[in-house]
Structure 1
C-alpha cells in the first residue's frame, strides 16, 4: 500500500471535531461520576469515624478509618441465614426463570404448537391485567406457599417480559438450523436442547441478569407471605434495619467488647448501620454483572430490535 493511499484512508479530524470529542468525554465522565459517587459515598462513610459520619461531614475522603462497622454487622443475629436465603432464591429462581423463558420462548415460535397464538396472547395479557394483591395472596395461601421458601420461586418462574425477549431472539435464528435437525430425525426436545440452547446463550444471560437482580432485591413478597424469620432474605433484613436502625445500633454495640462500645468513633449509630448493611447487600449482585456483561449487551440488543 502506497503512502498516498494510506494518507487518503486516514480520517481527518478538524479542531471542531476534536473539541466535540473532548466535550463528549467530559459529559460521559460526569455521568459516570454521578452513578459511582453514591456507592463511593456510602462506602467511605462505613469505614469512617461513626460520629463524623452521623454528622454528615464525610463527603469525599474517609476520616478515622476503621472496619468495626462490618465486624459488628456480621455479628448481628440472622444475617448469615438471610444471606443463605437470598443466595438460594437468587440461584434457584434465576435458573427456573431462565429455563422457563428459554423453553416457552422457543415453543411460541413453533408453528405446530397447539393454539400457539392463543397461549402466547394469554401470557402477554398478564403484563397488562393484574387481579391485585389480595387475590394474589389468597391464591398463594391456597397453594400453601405462605411461610414457604418456594413462594419466592414459583411466582417468578413464568415472566411475560423475559418470554417475549427470548421469543424475539429465537426468531432471529435462521430456521435452517431447525429444519436440518428435523431432517436428521430430531424431535422438538432434542432440537431445543441440542440446537437452540447453544445459540440463544446471549439472551439467556440477559434474562439471567434481570432475574438475578429482581430476586436479590425483592422483599415485598416477604412482607406479604413470610412470618418465619428463618426465611427472611437479606433485602428484608435491610428493610428492617432502615426502619429500626437505632435499636439495631444498640444491639451491635452490645455485641462489641466494652472498650469498643465506649469508643465514640467506632460505636454504632443508625447511619452506620444503614450504610454498612447497604454495602453488604449490594456488593454481591454488583460483582455478578461483569461476568455476564458481554452477553447482556448482545442479547438485549437483538432481543429488543430484531423481530
Structure 2
C-alpha cells in the first residue's frame, strides 16, 4: 500500500512539474526544430535566439521592470496598511468594531461589479497611472483577518508593559508586534507578491499607455497573437545574417521564452520563504 502511495505521489508530482519543464526546454530549443515535434525532456537543438529576441524587445524589458516595481511597492504598501488595520481591529475599545468587521467581511462576498469599479477608478483619476496597481489593492480583508488573529494571540502582557513604559499604539505596533510577526508577514507577503506579479487583467482594463503595461499583460497579448515579425522588427540590426537567423524562430518558441522570463523570478522566491508557510498561516488562522 505504501508503495502505491509513493507511486501515485511521484506520478502526481511529475504531471505538475513536466509542463513547466517542457516549456523551459522549448524556450532553449531552436524554434524551427521544435516545430518538428519530439522535444520533451532536453533541448534537441540548443539555442539562445528566443531569449535574444525577448531581451532586445524594449517593450518586454520595460514591462518586466513595471511588474517588478508594482510587485515591490504593492506588496510593501499592502502588508503595511493591512497590518495597521488589523492591529486597530484588535482593540476592544474601538467603537463600532463589530460593524467594521461585518463591513469588511461583506466585501469578501459581494462586489460592485466591473462597470461600477471601472467608473470609480476613472473618477479617481487612476486611469493610465501606476497607482492603479497599488491603491485598489492596499487592503486585503483575508490578510487582515490572518493578521488580526495572530496579533490577538500575542501575550497581553507585552502591550501592557510597553504602555507602562510610555509607548504609544504606533510604538507598540512597530517596535513589538510587527517584529514578532515575521512568519505571518513573510507568508502573506509572498501571497500578495504572487498576486501582483501574476495579475494581467487589471492592466488590460485600466492601462492603455504602453510604458505602464506589465509583462504579464504583454504575455497574454503574445499568447493571443503572432508576434514573431513585430518582435524581430525591434532588433537593432537588420543585416542579412540576422534576418536569416530569425527564420529559425517560431511563435511557440518566443511564447515559451517570454513565459519563462515572466515566471522564473517569482518561482525563485518560494524556496526562501517556504519554511514560513505552515507556521505563518496556521498560527495566524488557528490561534485565538
With normalisation by structure 1, the TM-score equals 0.88
Task: Return 276-285 or 171-180, whichever deviates more.
Answer: 171-180
- Offset from partner CA, 1:8-37 (integer Å, 9 cap, x none): xxxxxxxxxxx62x4444333333222221
Query: Which of 213, 219, 223 in structure 1 is aligned with 2:194?
Result: 213
Q: Does structure 1 residue 240 correspond to structure 2 residue 244? A: no
Match of 1:164 in 2: 145
Instruction: Give RMSD over aligned pairs.
Output: 1.7
Cα distance between partner residues in 1 of 2:69 and 2:186: 18
Which of the pair has more CA radius of gyration? 1
Higher relative contact order (CA 8 A, sep 6+): 2
Contact 1:94 1:212 (8 Å CA) reproduced: yes
Q: Does structure 1 residue 145 correspond to structure 2 residue 126? A: yes
Q: Does structure 1 residue 40 correspond to structure 2 residue 13? A: no
Query: Which of 31, 36, 39 in structure 1 is aligned with 2:12?
Result: 31
Cα drift, residue 84 of structure 1: 1.4
Cα distance between partner residues in 2 of 1:304 and 1:260: 57
Q: Secondary structure at the match of 2:58?
A: coil
Contact 1:83 1:234 (8 Å CA) reproduced: yes
- Offset from partner CA, 1:207-254 (integer Å, 9 cap, x none): 10111001011111111111111110010110111112x2x2123444
Structure 2: 5+ residue runs without aligned partners? none
Count of residue correspondences: 285
Cα drift, residue 283 of structure 1: 0.6
Contact 1:261 1:267 (8 Å CA) reproduced: no
Cα distance between partner residues in 1 of 2:282 and 2:15: 25
Report matched runs for 1:282-297 at 5 Å.
Answer: 282-297=263-278
Contact 1:260 1:267 (8 Å CA) reproduced: no
| Cα pair distance change 1:263/1:81, threshold 3 Å | closer
Contact 1:102 1:166 (8 Å CA) reproduced: yes
Cα distance between partner residues in 1 of 2:15 and 2:285: 27
Q: Does structure 1 residue 249 correspond to structure 2 residue 228? A: yes
Cα drift, residue 129 of structure 1: 1.1
With normalisation by structure 2, the TM-score equals 0.93
Cα drift, residue 169 of structure 1: 1.4
Cα distance between partner residues in 1 of 2:185 and 2:126: 27
Moved over 6 A (4+): none
- Offset from partner CA, 1:242-277 (integer Å, 9 cap, x none): 112x2x21234443653243248x622111111110
Q: Secondary structure at the match of 1:127?
A: helix
| Cα pair distance change 1:57/1:260, threshold 3 Å | farther
